[in-house]
A = this chain, B = another copy of it.
């Protein structure tokens, strides 16, 4: 347990004098801290008697003790001292609370400052409100034990660790007047996403962005183990932080007065330096890289809680992680110890008889929107403005005849994004993020409007690097995702372009973001924010040289498990439909939009007007592609979703037209995957009437899908015609090969689809034996050709619609 009591370490490059806190300031800061500690402990334990106005009895104690005490006193210290500097300097600040299990702390502080009661008037800032605050915590029907959407002032769910620092940077980008403090727990610091996010400082522009102040909180232990960083020699930790590009400032101790003085001094030093560096960059135009301060706060886990329980040490150990006294209702020693602990904060000095915080306690608290629990930046929907998206006709590709011209859809989208980037050059509220793939994904047009953010060394040979750029590229999907989440949650817009397979890297992050949005939508005080938009490209069907490791279309399956009110999935089949879908996504709120689109040359099927109409319906019949005459139901439905399946379905339709001209074929294209769900299951879901009208109730449907085929069954199993639905898709049969060989390997090719039609349409098997054999022969011919030439069959490579 740390015992040293240094004010500010000699490891700083320019040590500051200890802060000149007056005794009065010290007293009121400590009163605020004690009040927060009292309220944090109270939330974990008390159902009643919140002010300890009578001796504690078992019936005052919650029946189930749930919560995390360990990190709370440290977070309370940070909140108290952030209050001081915000008030003293009149700055706008936000704090990201990485040790999110410290919910009791952040709730306590926002209640103290009044934000909580303004947000939730039934939890007033008085004794009755305090009792409600205590009771609701980690209680059925109450509030989570973590910092969560329900917590005023939060943009960061504390349940899953690792994302605080990237969220903080996301909040700071393009917020030049904002200070984003970020408390990083030493447990969280062991995660990969957190470890990667330290290098975010190479992307933070001191001119147009705000400052991030990381506060690494070393309380020494996780659930049951010491933490790695807390057990490094201090010089090694300093090396690490300097290697991350920071200047460390140390605050350490277990004597409150000493730590208060040290913390005040460290914060003053840090904020002075930040102000100085921002001034140098903004006013003096100095362009060198900035080495921002980091505060290392080393205090005991469960500080001020029970030192020992049942003869074993608790304070300063992992045993303080959750509930230090576990048997309070049953064990009278524990009950007595709890009462002594709570009374050690001297609640009578902190709250008046009605339970209202006394003036001393509130002396450090800033006013109004300066309060951390009331910052509009933490409720980004209050700040978000509509994104300027120009008319799509400016970017549309001309389509006179479907399937005869080719465009790279993402490149076409790049032109649209370039204009958005251009039109937000002064507002600076739009970012494109990606793991070193913006150009690979063919969105490089955006560089005409903004370079790539880069604060590190530049060489003459470099291209598009820009200290003030708004394209963010780092080879970490986690950091990209965290940056964008933080940016959106503070009221801005963005797009994440990613290789389809590797977006699984952020599966767990998107889970948490969807949960955040779902919960936020149920909170009337949270205003809707811009949607999180994914462009997934370099997809499963076109990994010609990367092969099997780069083939995974399962992100769609992953997000479709989550809340339907939040999740949208689009598979535009060509350039103009991609424009339409992207336009919709960029204008939308509170969704996670997953758009899967190819970057390789792809046939243009729909004009811009057709594309708009088709995307508005989400799924529809392409009558120009089918052979129905309208007088009766078709013999078979060829359905498709995704660019490559659409091409194969149209090629199959053409083969059927040629070889089986009597067959009435309907072609249906699905852009919006959730249209397939029942209306009761998803807001976009089709009624059975609509579905049956598209797919029939009893005709064979051959569905060529971009991803894992069973997803279509999972979406459509309740439909009347489900027994007639036959789906082809990616079935994990991948390798390094040509585009057409990939579809052949997965039985999604045009020849196989025609064979499927012949096998499924009643009576056709006999009538079309020769055609079926022709198709099988074509597959054999393909196999021989590719072995010999390593390229696709000329008849496939040169194919166009209606040729």
Interface residue ranges, A against B (CB under 8 Å): 1, 62-64, 66-67, 138-146, 148, 157-162, 187-188, 190-199, 202, 222-228, 231-233, 236-245, 313, 316-317, 436-440, 452, 454, 456-459, 461-462, 465, 473-479, 501-502, 504-505, 507-508, 511-512, 515, 518-519, 544-550, 552, 554, 557-558, 561-563, 708, 710-711, 713-714, 717, 722, 732, 735-738, 741, 786-787, 789-791
Contacts and interface: CB of A to CB of B under 8 A. Distances in A.
A562 B64 contact: no
A436 B708 contact: no
B240 A736 contact: no
Nearest to A243: B240
A131 to B, nearest CB: 14
A226 B465 contact: yes
Contacts of A198: 195
A726 to B, nearest CB: 11
A144 B548 contact: yes
Contact of A236 (B188, B233, B243, B789): B243
Contacts of A222: 436, 475
B228 A239 contact: no
A736 B138 contact: yes
Contacts of A226: 454, 456-459, 462, 465
Given A143-B736, A504-B511, 11 more contacts: A141-B786, A160-B502, A190-B474, A192-B193, A222-B436, A224-B440, A232-B245, A233-B457, A316-B461, A505-B508, A518-B732
A141 to B, nearest CB: 6
Copies in the complex: 2
Contacts of A457: 226, 231-233
Contacts of A710: 561, 714, 717
B142 A736 contact: yes
Contacts of A462: 226
A800 B303 CA distance: 42
A787 B141 contact: yes
A476 B791 CA distance: 43
In the A-B complex, the 10 residue pairs with the closest CB atoms: A240-B243, A159-B549, A192-B192, A66-B545, A195-B195, A239-B243, A192-B196, A504-B508, A231-B456, A190-B475
B239 A148 contact: no
A549 B157 CA distance: 8
Contacts of A476: 190-192
Given A192-B192, A436-B224, A144 B547 contact: yes
A438 B237 CA distance: 27
Contacts of A714: 710-711, 713-714, 717
A61 to B, nearest CB: 12
Contacts of A436: 187, 222-225
Contacts of A562: 732
18 contacts: A63-B790, A63-B791, A64-B790, A139-B736, A141-B735, A144-B547, A148-B548, A159-B548, A159-B549, A195-B196, A199-B228, A225-B436, A225-B454, A236-B243, A239-B243, A515-B549, A561-B708, A713-B714
Given A474-B228, A710-B714, A561 B550 contact: no
Given A554-B561, A735-B144, A504 B507 contact: yes
A461 B157 contact: no
A545 B138 contact: yes
Nearest to A791: B63
A302 B224 CA distance: 47
B242 A545 contact: no
Nearest to A785: B140
Contacts of A233: 457
A282 to B, nearest CB: 23
Contacts of A62: 790
